[in-house]
Amino acid sequence: MDSKLRRKAILASLGIILLVSLLVLYSNQGLGGGEPPAGTPGPYPESTQEPQGSRENPGDNGVVNGQIGNDLSAFLKDEAFFDPEVNPILEAAKDNASRLSMVVTSVEKDLRIQIMDNQGELVTGESFFVKLEGLGEYKDLDKDGIIYIGDLAAGEYYVELMPMEGYRVPANETRVRVKDKVEYVAIEDISLLLLTEDDINVAEEDTAVADAVADADRTEIQKLQKTTANSRVGIDVSKWNGSIDWDRVKNAGVEFAIIRAGYRGSTTGSLVEDACFAANMRGAAASGMPVGVYFFTQAVNEVEAVEEASAVLQLIKEYDLKYPVFIDTEGAGGNGRADNLDVETRTLVCEAFCRTIANAGYTAGVYASRNWYNNNLHTSKLENYCIWLAEYRSAPLYQGYYHMWQYTSKGAVDGIEGNVDMNVSYLAQ
């Protein structure tokens, strides 16, 4: 058993010990000696034995005012109490701590099998095997608690988790259905795949490069623009903007914010929550700032795009959004896992993300630079979604239609240290 499960087993055992102690205390209180209350029906036999101790001097037998068993720590002196082979309670706790289960999902002709402990968390550090009826065994080679099987024919399958020393696996096979086509609906239990930056190598994973910076010219506007009858001015932020004083930001004239929810790792493809996402969402809400969110994609196919959308839906479910949910499609320094996608595949990724978001009842959109829209996407297939353009000049050269314009990454706003991205929204309010 790995150290994580061992700690859980110990904590569970201590919890049971505490429960037993409380039961002992409760029982003793109910069986305490002394004279019965006046008017209590008898018979009560009179004691003919002198007490051997008092409150000041209880004596050797642990009797206090006639109460027996007052020493609630007596079990600590009993070595057999902590022996699982002797104590059935501890044996049951140990058995429960080692029980495993599977969470199995399918997006399109695939299966993702997640190995869970009795606390509902992924079990890592072990090379688990599963057996897929008629196809053989599959192993968790990277020991992350997840086994992914692709290129499956649609239909029903039976999955069996093979025995592993130190664990109790389900006795029966699990019947699952492999989907024939992407259904663009949120994946259940996607939260199991969401990581924090404590779980990854941030320097290798969070490597988005703003293409709009290289395309900027000397006419770039760096001040907060003025609101008009048809536009609102806002910002977009992430962990790179640090701690934000949202009241000061709002008082500075900012009318909305698009907050990064997270990103997919450029190297491993892990789904990662932005380190400041929760703090930014709570701070913006407290100040009354309307918000939307964005997610930096490194999806390489529609299945992964649905995963990314599902991750965002999980992250935003507790918050009220007034602005869209965007997929941020841009480069990752040339070595990102999605940097070399062809135009068709990249467009399908954006469509899959947006369709999943829209099917969940939110407004969906795509963020990209002018060059990215022109060279890496079929924009005609994205017309049903909100287009957020990044182009850093006084007036965009982009010839397509757009709903929001990020006009600089070098803005300054009271309440935020350093530069901040600034935007104009033409969305109806």
Please state the domain extents for the chain.
Answer: 101-178, 190-425
pLDDT given for residue 26 in this prediction: 54
What are 364's strand-pairing partners? 325
Q: Phi and psi at residue 350, in whole multiples of 5°? A: -65, -40
Question: Which whole-number Å values give the CA distances from 36 to 31, 40, 221, in the listed order?
Answer: 11, 6, 88
405: closest CA among 390, 420, 392, 416?
A: 390
CATH fold for the domain made of 190-425: TIM Barrel (3.20.20)
The superfamily (CATH) of domain 101-178 is: Immunoglobulins (2.60.40.10)
**Helix residue ranges per DSSP H, 290-329:** 302-316
Closest CA to 335 of 165, 236, 234, 203: 203
For residue 38, the model assigns a pLDDT of 47
CA-based max dimension of the chain = 105
DSSP 241: G
d(CA 63, CA 83): 28
What's the pLDDT score for residue 90?
Answer: 54
Helix or strand run (H / E) with residue 397: none
Written as tens digits, the pLDDT of the chain (429 aa) is: 444 545 555 556 556 666 655 555 555 555 444 444 444 444 434 444 444 444 444 444 444 444 455 666 665 566 665 565 556 655 555 566 688 989 898 888 899 899 988 888 889 999 999 999 889 999 999 898 899 998 899 999 999 999 988 898 888 899 999 988 889 999 988 999 999 999 999 999 999 999 899 999 999 999 999 999 999 999 999 999 999 999 999 999 999 999 999 999 999 999 999 999 999 999 999 999 999 999 999 999 999 999 999 999 999 999 999 999 999 999 998 889 999 999 999 999 999 999 999 999 999 999 999 999 999 999 999 999 999 999 999 999 999 999 999 999 999 999 999 999 999 999 986
Q: Given CA atoms 163, 167, 170, 171 in this order, what sign does their dihedral have?
A: positive
What is the model's pLDDT at position 98? Answer: 82
Indicate the pTM of the whole model: 0.75
Q: Which residues pair with 180 in a beta bridge?
A: none
Q: How far is CA 276 from CA 197, 208, 237, in A?
A: 10, 17, 9
